[in-house]
Amino acid sequence: MWFDIIKAPNPHGGQWKFLTREQYYEMDDENKRNYHSAMSSVYQRQISSLRARHQPLDASNEILNNEALEVQKLRNFHDNQKERMDNNVAEPVFSIEEDKDPPTQRLLTTPMGNIQFGEWDLTEEEYNAATRKEKINYHMRKRRTDQNNKHSRAIRRMMAHPNYTSPYNPEDAKSKEEWQRTLLPIPSKEEYEKMSNDDKRNFHARMRKRYNKSGEKDLMKFHGRMRSRLIKNLRLPTYYSPEEERNA
């Protein structure tokens, strides 16, 4: 029997498979961790055995895949309880039926060890509700079969800009100019006046680049002139906008 290989000590005596719900909630955290660790090991070995006994893997074998999926769910449950305890994020529970808040992160493989694509991966609704880390993991999985490197670009953008989140389909992403504009909104005149000289220089550099791309040459020249004054540390004043300069 699979449960015969459980080695962790059970404070109530006997094997962990005979542990009752009442006994579980009497245990301290160390023994609860031992319980979940032992059960996770059992189910992982059972998954490994199923994979080894059914080579080559047959994705069409519904009975086999359902059996492996149930074992995988139990293994994941016990791993999740250990992680909750290690990170002190929530109280562990005894059984999978009691777990009211299971994590949504998908694993990289199906129960039988195949790389997860298609129906195994996140839907757009799940993606939008996922954490930032789960979204990056989604794009990392997708880039394996992405010949246009759109998912790779999505990962680079998200890693370089903590406030940027790629859409579910990277081809729906806005242009670099558009999404950077949303990340760096134009400050108000009052906010500008409270800025340090370094922040003002960065502001004018950003606006100069923006208006150069949009073809608004007068605005580009204005912000270039203000940036130059700050770089050269001139005694000339700098202004928030051409209108403010004209009215000075």
Domain coverage including residue 87: 2-98
Q: In sequence order, which ranges of the chain are alpha helices (DSSP H)? A: 21-24, 29-53, 62-87, 124-129, 132-142, 150-160, 176-183, 189-193, 197-214, 217-231, 242-247
> Which backbone phi and psi does 115 adopt, to 5 degrees?
-60, 135
Residue 154 near residue 141, CB atoms below 8 Å: no
Same domain, 61 and 139: no
105 belongs to a structural domain = no
Whether the model clears a pTM of 0.85, i.e. scores above it, the answer is: no
Same domain, 145 and 192: no
Answer yes or no: are the C-beta atoms of 39 and 96 closer than 8 Å: no
| Number of folded domains that form the chain | 3
Whether residue 116 is predicted with pLDDT greater than 70 in this model: the reply is no
Residue 113: pLDDT over 60: no
Q: pLDDT digits over 42-57, tens only? A: 888 888 887 777 665 5
**Is there a single domain that holds both residue 190 and residue 169?**
no
Residue at 117 is within a domain: no
The answer to whether residue 164 is domain-embedded is yes
The 10s digit of each residue's pLDDT in 167-186 is 898 888 777 666 666 656 77
Confirm whether 8 is domain-assigned.
Answer: yes
Which residue carries 């660790």 as its tokens? 37
Q: Rounded CA gap, 176 and 170, in Å?
A: 12
Query: Mean pLDDT across the chain, nearest whole number?
Result: 80
Q: Which comes out higher in pLDDT, residue 33 or 172?
A: 33
